[in-house]
Structure 1
């Protein structure tokens, strides 16, 4: 009996890992402009991959692919909480799920940022095609349009982001809210992770640059895969390069066994890159890497399993 009580004490402590810091997102690592590092690597080191990445970002008019960059401490907190919840669950069963999805189109006061209905429909089709292997489909629950200059230029972790989401967000933990806007900080998008909902439900969701939707002006990021990438975060996935070559399943990696280790994000579509000594070439075609939209085409079986667990543990609404 003492052993059982000890186990549950450990589980309870792990489940309240974030209790000591109810707002860990305040210390979130905001993505630094990737163009700066790519300029050095391209011009000084004559790195072809860096040059391709610089060309892609410059062409799209952005400085960074994604603003979702948890710190090592945040990853540790998430994984401890996730492991404890999985262990405490009596049984986890996976069934196909339909996720109600709201699009919140934010424009400025003169109408910049308007998104035609057919582009939203196309984006939903892109999401469904990408997530069907995970047994996930997205059903359009509503679209609203709001004109607000401050919200239109929102950046990650700002008051504008919190105000916009607090005013517009619909549904509970299992409802996907996608916000489109002009964005500040030169970002294509960012997202919250599933575990964040328990202490910050008002900011839950995905934010994407309006021109990253299909048919937008942010080529080569104009085929809708920015939303796929960010929804991957919303469903519990890290970047494939999380932790770099030093990351593994237990310490700093993406916690997925079938995504090869990757030293840094891949830009463009650099075939046959192998940046780490561990087995496997860099997963440049994975939705959770940084390639051009045309280069990205799949999640792995391990990523699908992780999303199923994360959604069941954190986003099932009872």
Structure 2
């Protein structure tokens, strides 16, 4: 996770909500500087994963658990194939994903974003998952549409306090629905993994720093690709530097191993002796938004498998 500048906060709480149901690709906004780090933004039991900053940015997944997740996924895919729920060999799961935007404002209205900015964020998701930023990028087969926007006035929720509680109270849709909570915290984003949905469905989704939406004020990270990165976790991708310089790495063969996350856009970075330069242009690294250009075909296949196993 990328750490962000902190500032003191008032803790007055007003719990209200106003629902706005919008059509797909509707909406624009202004944003302020990132705010204080919440006390409960990292939830190990929920499969949290965050983009940028320092400290733990995914829940701790040991090598043994990583192997267990792969075995469980294979078993689920086999069982679903036996029931006729499978993707033909060589094809990908294709799905139109409903997106629910939950705007967490404080009691003074800080943290709001405009409908245009929300529309632009959905467009970024469709562009990045559609492989439209590079000739070498994979089209994952997933598209997104705005299923609804709800705005809440609650200072603690805005700061990502009581995160498990507010997510359970506000999450919408089923396991195929991507919920995005826009908050003001010390990170750029936090996500849950698909294999954790069954044990804690109420908190499934991604939390995103509201200033990272297109046109926001998060310098170097305001093109909306924080949501792309976090959604990648939601679909079952690890960071490209998962496991460091190991052959297993992120369980994707066409993302070269890297020893650590990237900062900025250092062309030619090569942090491992294994073949290939660091995949600094991959959405699952920690590069600047302007450096990001692709998911790989291998990542696309993994997302397809994870969707079929856990969200289809």
**1:288 and 1:243, CA in 2 relative to 1: closer, same or farther beyond 3 A?**
same
Query: 1:171 is matched with which residue?
Result: 173
**1:182 and 1:74, CA in 2 relative to 1: closer, same or farther beyond 3 A?**
farther
User: What TM-score do you get using the length of structure 1 for normalisation?
Assistant: 0.75
Where in structure 2 are the equivalents of 1:1-318 lying within 5 Å?
A: 25-26=44-45, 63-64=53-54, 67-72=57-62, 73-89=64-80, 90=82, 92-93=86-87, 94-132=92-130, 133-154=139-160, 160-183=162-185, 186-245=186-245, 247-249=246-248, 253-316=249-312
Give the structure with the larger helix fraction: 1
Contact conserved, 2:45 with 2:59, CA < 8 A, in 1?
A: no
Select between 78-87 and 106-115 the one with higher mean Cα deviation: 78-87
Runs of 4+ in structure 1 over 4 Å off: 27-31
**1:195 and 1:30, CA in 2 relative to 1: closer, same or farther beyond 3 A?**
closer
Select between 211-220 and 82-91 the one with higher mean Cα deviation: 82-91
User: What TM-score do you get using the length of structure 2 for normalisation?
Assistant: 0.77
Summarize deviations over 1:191-220 as a string: whole Å, max 9, x none.
001111111000100100000101111010
Partner SS state of residue 87, structure 1: helix
**1:29 and 1:309, CA in 2 relative to 1: closer, same or farther beyond 3 A?**
closer
The answer for unaligned runs of 5 or more in structure 2 is 1-42, 131-138
Partner SS state of residue 262, structure 2: coil
**1:66 and 1:293, CA in 2 relative to 1: closer, same or farther beyond 3 A?**
farther
**1:29 and 1:101, CA in 2 relative to 1: closer, same or farther beyond 3 A?**
closer
Partner SS state of residue 151, structure 2: strand
Counterpart CA distance in 2 for 1:310 and 1:97 is: 12
Counterpart CA distance in 1 for 2:163 and 2:169 is: 10
Which structure would you say has the larger Rg?
Answer: 1
